[in-house]
Amino acid sequence: MTAPKTRTRKTQQRQRFTGWSTSDADEIERRRLRGREEAIRIEALDRADTFFGTFLAHSKGGHAYRVEIRSLIGHINSCDCPDHRVNGLGTCKHIEFVLGRLLARLDKCVLNELGGRYIRRVMEVLKQPASRKRHVNVLQHLLGYLRQHAERGDRADLLEAIDGYRRGEYPLVVPVRLLRHHFRRHPHPYVSQQVYLEPYPAELMLRNAV
C-alpha cells in the first residue's frame, strides 16, 4: 500500500517578529507586510503627477490618512497617521501600501521622464523656505532614531531643547547641536546620510530667526 500523495503549495513565508529587541529594519518590514495584507484604498490628490505628491489612504476601519510621497526608495515620505508620528522610522503601513502600488506600475513609465519630473518637483520644494513648524517636525523625527539608545534624561533634554525652539526661546542651533552630539555617540545609517545636522555652508546653521 502506497502512502497518499500530498499537495504542496508555494506560500509566502511570513517573517515572525518576537520580543522588544527588534531592529529598525525589522519594524520597517513589519509595516511593509501589514501594508501588503490589509485592505487599503488609495486616492491621488495631485492628479498632475503620477508618482510624487499627496495621496489619501483609506483604511478598512474608515479612517483616511494623508500620505506624501517624496521618494520611491528613501524613507523621507510622510503620513499623518499616529504610527508615523511616533515610530521614528520614516514610514508606516500606509506609506508602504502606496509605494507598493506605485512601484507595481513603474515599468509602464519612461524612467527618464520620471527622473525629470522628480528633479522639477525637488526644485519647487527648495523654493519654499522652511518654517519653524517644519523644523520642529524634522527635529522630532530625528529624535525618534535615538529612542532605543539615548538615556531617559538625555531624551528629556532633547525634548526640552526642541520645545524651547518651538516656543522661540532657543535658536535652532541648540537642538541641532544636541542631536549631532548624540548621533556621534549613537550613529544611525539613515541619519548619517542626511545633511540636516551638517549644513553647508556652516552659516546656514545660524539662521536662528526661522
Q: What is the DSSP string of 75-142?
A: S--EE-SHHHHHH-SS--HHHHHHHHHHHHTGGGS-HHHHHHHHHHHHHHHHTSPPPHHHHHHHHHHH
Neighbour count for residue 202 (Cβ, 10 Å): 8
**pLDDT in the model for residue 135:** 92
Using a cut of 0.85, tell me whether the model's pTM lies above it: no
- The answer to whether 140 and 162 have CB atoms below 8 angstroms apart is yes
Q: What is the dihedral of CA 80, 176, 121, 144, to 10 degrees?
A: -30
**pLDDT in the model for residue 150:** 84
- Condensed to tens digits (0 to 9), the pLDDT of residues 127-170 reads 888 889 989 999 999 998 898 888 889 989 999 999 999 999 99
Q: What one-letter code names the amino acid at 117?
A: R
Exposed, middle or buried: residue 191 (CB in 10 Å: 0-12, 13-18, 19+)? middle
- The answer to whether 168 and 162 have CB atoms below 8 angstroms apart is no
**pLDDT in the model for residue 158:** 93
Residue 32, CB half-sphere, CA atoms under 13 Å: how many? 14
User: Quick one: cell of 63?
Assistant: 479612517
With a CB cutoff of 8 Å and minimum separation 6, the contacts of 124 are none
Domain range summary for the chain, segments of one domain joined by +: 24-126, 132-206
Residue whose C-alpha is closest to residue 102's, from 12, 42, 25: 42
Mark the ranges of the chain whose per-residue pLDDT is less than 50: 1-14, 17-18
**pLDDT in the model for residue 64:** 92
